[in-house]
Structure 1
């Protein structure tokens, strides 16, 4: 269950996300998009820093770094129409965010858990996605392959927390990792395969939900330690 402050934040966060979905889909409101899109991660970062006091200091730093890299990626991807380099830089920023999450999740790895079944599922999923993307990747082939490997590693590391953290923390973080993978998949299909209807809404909605679930899930460790 969320604390009272968690519920209040969830309402504020939902309003920010809704505002971004509206402004990001309207040419006339696009100037507000440049405020509300970064506000999603900024609000999460502020909430996390206010609520993570009893978490391990290194874990706090790693999670904060993941959010900062995510923020950098969000900002860079807002300017992809000005130069294709912004997409590559944004990709690198999110890759680093995923690496930070991998490091954070592996701190609570259940060494007795066998991930081979889950990894097999991820490989099948990634192979199917790559089959659709490969003809449109061109110069982005290697960067996208590297990115796919990192986000699959992030999902696997989230899975490996099972049985070694409180159930709610595991479930929220694991679902967040899956939503992150879903968001990136939609983005990749929209950019390298074919334009998808309402892609801006589906990408941002799954992304915002992913980040929210991961951060709330990590904060459940803080609550469990009290």
Structure 2
């Protein structure tokens, strides 16, 4: 079987791709923990997001072209942010990567937005939880943020927006898609939280492993959820 056909077969199989993706993710985590940053992380890290982009491109069947564009642009933002944040000790690289991750979350929010009716009361409990989480985290990090205070606040506001749009997909899309994206966003935000604590405050046990494990798993679930998505058609009563 030609190599290109074999690769295409893997990309079309959710099970085979999952095995490949988490193998590459594990290799990157081991490289992060055991090898010098340069040049090894620049070799091991890019394939993680590149695989997700190829997986999405090979399997997407978006009805709306805008949904396709928002997803691709978001993944490209995460990919570029990934490369830059490897050298997070460089203030410029760190700043640009934070901006790219913020845009990545914003474009995902656009992707998950919809025009279906929803009850505002459903948002209240989750908004309260996210508000407490954000305020608590920023308060803990306040002394270390310094010039990054405003960018981090904006980034976490976009995280809250993404979380809300994700939650509001309930009863609009099928359960499998909803749960994959919902838990994917939560796991991604856990990675984000550990990353900012490590960068601006103090070290966290197993931080290198946890950041990449949660980050990769979160984005994998989000992309999987998008590919599984089926809109639920609501029956309108004639009475």
| 4+ aligned runs moved over 4 Å, structure 1 | 222-225
Give the structure-2-normalised TM-score.
0.87
Using the alignment, how far apart are the partners of 1:56 and 1:32 within structure 2? 39
* Residue range with higher mean Cα deviation, 207-216 or 49-58: 49-58
Give the structure-1-normalised TM-score.
0.92
Question: Could you list the per-position Cα deviations for residues 122-179 of structure 1 after superposition, in whole angstroms to 9, with x for gaps in the alignment?
Answer: 1111111112101111111111111111111111111111111001100000101111
1:92 partnered with 2:99: yes
Partner in structure 2 of residue 111 of structure 1: 118
Query: Quick check: which has more Rg, 1 or 2?
Result: 2
Partner in structure 1 of residue 71 of structure 2: 63
Q: Would the aligned equivalents of 1:109 and 1:160 in 2 still touch at CA under 8 Å?
A: no
The verdict on how the C-alpha distance between 1:5 and 1:223 changes in structure 2, with shifts beyond 3 A counting, is: farther
Partner in structure 2 of residue 202 of structure 1: 210
1:185 partnered with 2:193: yes
What SS does the aligned partner of 1:25 have?
helix
Using the alignment, how far apart are the partners of 1:17 and 1:109 within structure 2? 36
RMSD after superposition: 2.1
The verdict on how the C-alpha distance between 1:92 and 1:5 changes in structure 2, with shifts beyond 3 A counting, is: same
The verdict on how the C-alpha distance between 1:62 and 1:89 changes in structure 2, with shifts beyond 3 A counting, is: same
The verdict on how the C-alpha distance between 1:78 and 1:4 changes in structure 2, with shifts beyond 3 A counting, is: closer
Q: What displacement does 1:28 show?
A: 5.0
Partner in structure 1 of residue 181 of structure 2: 173
